[in-house]
Amino acid sequence: MNAFRPADVMPFALPMGALGVSALALILCSGAARAVEPGPDWISSHGISTFGDLKYAADFSHLDYVNPVAPKGGEISIWGFGSFDSMNPYTTKGRAAGGANIFFETLLTGTADEIGSSYCLLCTEITYPEDRSEVIFTLNPEARFSDGSPLTAADIVFSYEVLLEKGLPSFRAQLAQKVESATALDEQRVHFTFKDGIPTRDLIGDVGGLPVFSKADYEANGRDFEESSLKPLLGSGPYVLGDLDVGQSVTYARNPDYWGEKLPINIGRSNFDAIRIEYYADYNAAFEGFKAGSYTFRNEASSKIWATGYDFPAHQRGHVVKRELPNGNKATNQAWAFNLRREMFQDPKVRQAIAMMFNFEWSNETLFYGLYDRVDSFWDNSYLEATGLPSKGEIAVLEPLVKEGLLPPEILTEPPFSLPESGLRQLDRKNLRRASDLLDEAGWEVGDDGLRRKDGVVLAIEILNDSQTFDRVINPFVENLKRLGVDARHTRIDNAQMTARERPPQYDYDLAQTFLSTSYIPGTELRQFFGSETADTSTFNKMGLRNEAIDRLIDLVLAAESAEEVEIRVKALDRALRSLKFWIPQWNKNTHTVAYFDMYEHPATLPPYALGELDFWWYNPEKAAQLKAEGAL
């Protein structure tokens, strides 16, 4: 998987639909096969919704937010951070190129204008009992891998099995608890059964979100799923590998013989003949490359560049468009995460004191030109964020955990924990005094040299950074920590070192930059990010969080049987997560700030949950020709 990056230095990632992390973070468990036929009361459908009805009927012609007559052609190019040495995004070995999952399709796919709905992609029908304890997927007989070979139920079972045996460890651990068996009933039908006693609400969508690989190609080429490789596994998606310059650039070429081009779910999508990613060592170099026309679309994540950098000739002449587009997504939960595997971070008072030294208000005003809001909740910018005093429903969920001593009593009587606001000076003295009191209470005393010690050990913190553009954020934070008596250091390393130090089993960091992703209908990804069982195996649980209360709340969220129950339980979980103070939340903005050479177009109304530049935007050849004639490209 690609390393996480802060919002000011955001990496490339292809849109992954409404299934999101939950769909990818799933590995299945096999069991005994058995013949099966649907019962008379089974439900047959072209899709499935977690709660309520599907938006799109079985006979829909195209998604509402696409241009069904969008032309095909042209190239869109973006940038990637650092480098890559692999085209396998499903192993911890090597560093996969951005978008390397583009080759693979899934049985079901989500949309960008719904929450919790999945529609057939590789299948034509799903059939399941009302309790969702099992499911039969009927494959589209036209489905083909990109080499023209048919995609069958045997490939679905093979993909499941190889993910089970060789997938990322934390993924395997999750689905091993859930799926009893996966069986090819015939060439076109595959049957999944789920284990007893497991909430089945999301499981059909989960197994429907598994990437599908060609069994024949895998075996014929002697592939090893766990190994890094520059030759991608064979998939069925609309793009294949084009040009490849290892570590420098990668181009994905649209497959002119793509089997699914005329499916209603795909009409108006995958419009570019080529998607190219150019890699740069740092954010400033990438911006210079954009100004020079080395790539053509930029999702601007640097507030400084957005506010002051677009005075170059291509923009002044109108060749480059600069726009703010609506973003209805919940916040990305960008943060520094404390490594709770470190002894010094076991005390929440220490974590809170350190977190108070990051002055967001000053940073936003001075460094970010007022473009951001502070992330405060794990469901920030959504209706699921816990606010104010807990409701009766939330209290009913939290009270048993308080009585058992697993959560603090104040979680029932106070608003959810938030870091205090700071003033517009870099060092907020009021917060400095409060943070000093917290460290004093935790036993970290200030010595004659101004450093805090406990049992003779200096309170020392290293903040790793692999991007020079993030220096301006970290350096003031370090200065404030030093004023607190913390021996704080800002250490610059390259992105390969960052990847190695952040991954298991090393976990060699004090604070890790991360995105603690959550969704509107949370699924198994909650265990990936916050569950005790993944503390020493997951690439997502950067904190190493082990907490019984959180584990039990996650179980309750996963077992919720209605949208109302989800909302109540998620808000309770949000309160509990925030009470643990294991993160230093950073910032978010509710708009997409994009710049691009003026040869791309998009639907007049964008969907709420995706920008979609690589999905449903398109290329205007007349505008492109004009740019070339004027020397802009």
Q: Identify the CATH number of the domain in which residue 400 sits.
A: 3.10.105.10
List the one residue out of 400, 66, 99 whose CA is nearest residue 266: 66
The domain boundary residue, chosen from 162, 189, 214: 214
Both 167 and 37 in a single domain? yes
Is 124 among the domain residues? yes
pLDDT at 20 over 50: no
Is 359 among the domain residues? yes
Mean pLDDT over residues 209-233, rounded? Answer: 94
Q: Show the domain range for 425.
A: 334-587
Q: Read off the pLDDT of residues 392-406 as tens digits, 9 standing for 90 and up.
A: 999 999 999 999 999
Amino acid at 53: D
Least confident of 9-13, 72-76, 266-270, 534-538: 9-13
List the one residue out of 110, 149, 136, 125 whose CA is nearest residue 236: 149
Q: How far apart are CA 19 and CA 21, in angstroms?
A: 7
Q: Give the three-class secondary structure for 325.
A: strand
pTM of the model: 0.84
Give me the pLDDT at residue 27, please.
33
Give me the pLDDT at residue 151, please.
98
How many domains is the chain partitioned into structurally?
2
Both 516 and 378 in a single domain? yes
Mean pLDDT over residues 571-583, rounded? Answer: 98
Give me the pLDDT at residue 14, please.
33
pLDDT at 264 over 80: yes
Tell me which of 21 and 188 has the higher pLDDT. Answer: 188
pLDDT at 210 over 60: yes
List the one residue out of 415, 382, 332, 377 whose CA is nearest residue 567: 382
Mean pLDDT over residues 564-571, rounded? Answer: 97
Q: Which two tokens stand for residue 443?
A: 């036993």
Residues 241/232, Cβ–Cβ less than 8 Å: yes
Residues 27/175, Cβ–Cβ less than 8 Å: yes
What is the helix (H) or strand (E) element at residue 236, kind and residue range?
none
Amino acid at 392: K
- Banded pLDDT at 172 (limits 50, 70, 90): confident
- Banded pLDDT at 106 (limits 50, 70, 90): very high
Is 314 among the domain residues? no
Which CATH number fits the domain that encloses residue 143?
A: 3.40.190.10
Tally Cβ neighbours within 10 Å of residue 59. 7
Q: What is the CA radius of gyration of the chain?
A: 25
Q: How far is CA 72 from CA 20, 308, 479, 630, in A?
A: 26, 35, 52, 24
What is the helix (H) or strand (E) element at residue 534, kind and residue range?
none
What average pLDDT does the structure give for the chain?
91
Residues 590/342, Cβ–Cβ less than 8 Å: no
* pLDDT above 90 as % of the chain: 80
Give me the pLDDT at residue 25, please.
36
Give me the pLDDT at residue 612, please.
96
Is 443 among the domain residues? yes
pLDDT at 165 over 90: no
Q: How far apart are CA 311 and CA 186, in angstroms?
A: 61
Least confident of 10-19, 193-202, 249-258: 10-19
Token pair 């400033």 is at which residue? 284
CA 155 from centroid of its chain's CA atoms: 27
Give me the pLDDT at residue 35, please.
56
Give me the pLDDT at residue 166, please.
85
Is 401 among the domain residues? yes
- Banded pLDDT at 551 (limits 50, 70, 90): very high
Backbone angles phi, psi at 278, to 5 degrees: -100, 130
Tally Cβ neighbours within 10 Å of residue 197. 6
Q: Read off the pLDDT of residues 318-334 as tens digits, 9 standing for 90 and up.
A: 999 999 999 988 988 99
Residues 185/36, Cβ–Cβ less than 8 Å: yes
Q: Which two tokens stand for residue 423?
A: 């003033």
The domain boundary residue, chosen from 158, 181, 214: 214
Rounded to 10 deg, the angle between the 563-579 and 548-559 helix axes is 170
Is 27 among the domain residues? yes
Distance separating the N- and C-terminal Cα atoms of the chain: 33
The domain boundary residue, chosen from 214, 229, 250: 214
Length in residues, the chain: 633
Does a cis peptide bond (omega within 30 degrees of 0) precede residue 505? yes
Q: List, in order, residues 6 or more apart from 136 with CB less than 8 Å away.
A: 36, 38, 126, 127, 128, 185, 189, 190, 191
Q: Could you tell me whether strands 274-280 and 75-81 are parallel, antiparallel, or unpaired per DSSP bridges?
A: parallel
Is 616 among the domain residues? no
Q: List, in order, residues 6 or more apart from 131 with CB less than 8 Å away.
A: 200
Q: Which two tokens stand for residue 467?
A: 């991007």
Residues 239/253, Cβ–Cβ less than 8 Å: yes
Q: What counts of helices (H) and strands (E) characterise the chain?
A: 18, 27
Is 501 among the domain residues? yes
Q: Which two tokens stand for residue 604?
A: 């007049």
The overall longest dimension of the chain from CA atoms, in Å, is: 80
Q: How far apart are CA 512 and CA 529, in angstroms?
A: 13
Tally Cβ neighbours within 10 Å of residue 56. 20
List the one residue out of 208, 35, 198, 52 whose CA is nearest residue 126: 208
Both 201 and 339 in a single domain? no
What is the helix (H) or strand (E) element at residue 133, kind and residue range?
none
Q: List, in order, residues 6 or more apart from 39 with CB less than 8 Å away.
A: 129
Q: How far apart are CA 253 and CA 189, in angstroms?
A: 30
Rounded to 10 deg, the angle between the 548-559 and 392-403 helix axes is 140
Give me the pLDDT at residue 91, please.
85
| Nearest-10 Cα torsion for 219, 222, 226, 230 | -110
Both 199 and 342 in a single domain? no
Q: Read off the pLDDT of residues 273-284 as tens digits, 9 standing for 90 and up.
A: 999 999 999 889
Q: List, in order, residues 6 or more apart from 620 with CB less than 8 Å away.
A: 71, 74, 599, 600, 601
